[in-house]
Amino acid sequence: MDISKHAEIRCQQRGIPKNSIDLILQFGTPLCKPGGVIEYKIYKKNKSQIQAHLKKLIDRLDKIENKAVLISDNQVITVYHKNN
């Protein structure tokens, strides 16, 4: 997502990292505001959803440890278990 100069300055002034914007947009609740803009906000329910999502990701990470994917010409050609 493109970030305006104004938003970049506000991120710096308010100590909000740009990667936080991605989380807010991915998991936040959209709210229609005047002027045709949409506000994304993280509520407690969103926080719970994020935590559950992260727990699933951690479980998946545990399962894919020592696995590998081989790619050629931008296509997956095989997957396998790494022994080391």
Distance, C-alpha 61 to centroid of its chain: 16
Residues 6+ apart with CB under 8 A from 33: 39
Provide the residue ranges of all domains of the chain, joining segments of one domain with +.
5-41, 44-81
What mean pLDDT comes out for the span 56-64?
93
Find, among 13, 39, 10, 40, the residue nearest to 25 by Cα.
Answer: 40
pLDDT at 45 over 90: no
For 18-40, what is each residue's pLDDT tens digit?
A: 999 998 998 899 999 999 999 99
Q: Can you tell me the mean pLDDT for 38-60?
A: 91
**CA of residue 11 relative to chain centroid, distance:** 17
pTM of the model: 0.62
